[in-house]
Amino acid sequence: MEILAPQDDLALAAITEAVGAEALITDAAERAYHSQDVFSTGPTVLAVFRPTDKDMLARGIAAATQAGWPSSRGVAA
């Protein structure tokens, strides 16, 4: 596990509360793996959200955006 910057902690805590810790991956290696596509590597993501159904997906996104996720960051599918 890795330490997250304080303002990120806030949003992550809100999402965790909404969807449960099991749906979130914050392990450094997994975050790095999920920050690349077949051609490029991008900036490392804060967490990987693995919803198991539509409602959890909606809950997680609502929590992330309502917690004032910094607008320069955002959500990538």
Partner 1 sequence: MSYTSGYLAPEAGALLIDTGSMNSILDINEEDMTVTVESGCTWDKLQRALKPRGLRALAWGTLSGINATVGGGMSQNGVFWGALGGTVVDAALSFEVVLADGTILSTGSNFFRPFGPDITGLFAADCGALGVKATITLKLVREGTAFSYGSFSFPDANAFFSAMSAIAREGLASESFGFDPYLQAQRMKRDSLTKDAKSLVNMMKAQGSVLKALKEGAKVVAAGRSFLDDVPFSLHLICEGRYQSAVDADMKAIEAIAVKHGGKPIENTIPKIMRANPFPPVNSMVGPEGERWVPVHGFLPHSRLVEAWDRIQALFEANKAEMEAQGVAAGAMLAAVNRSTCLIEPVFFWPDALEELHCRSLEPSHLAKLNRFPANATSRAVVDRLRKEIVRIFRDLGATHLQVARTYPLEEASDPRAWTLLRAIKQTVDPQGLMNPGSLGL
Ligand X SMILES: Cc1cc2nc3c(=O)[nH]c(=O)nc-3n(C[C@H](O)[C@H](O)[C@H](O)COP(=O)(O)OP(=O)(O)OC[C@H]3O[C@@H](n4cnc5c(N)ncnc54)[C@H](O)[C@@H]3O)c2cc1C
Point out which residues bind ligand X (CB under 6 A): 38, 76-77
User: What does the radius of gyration of the chain's CA atoms come to, in whole angstroms?
Assistant: 12
For residue 18, is it left (φ>0), alpha (ψ between -120 and 50) or beta? alpha
CA-to-CA distance for 40 and 22, rounded, in angstroms? 28
CA-to-CA distance for 8 and 44, rounded, in angstroms? 13
Which CB sits closer to partner 1, 1 or 74? 74
The residue within the footprint of partner 1, chosen from 10, 17, 21, 41 (CB under 8 A), is 41
Q: Does 63 contact partner 1 by CB under 8 A?
A: yes
Residue 37 C-beta: closest distance to ligand X, Å: 6
Which CB sits closer to partner 1, 21 or 36? 36
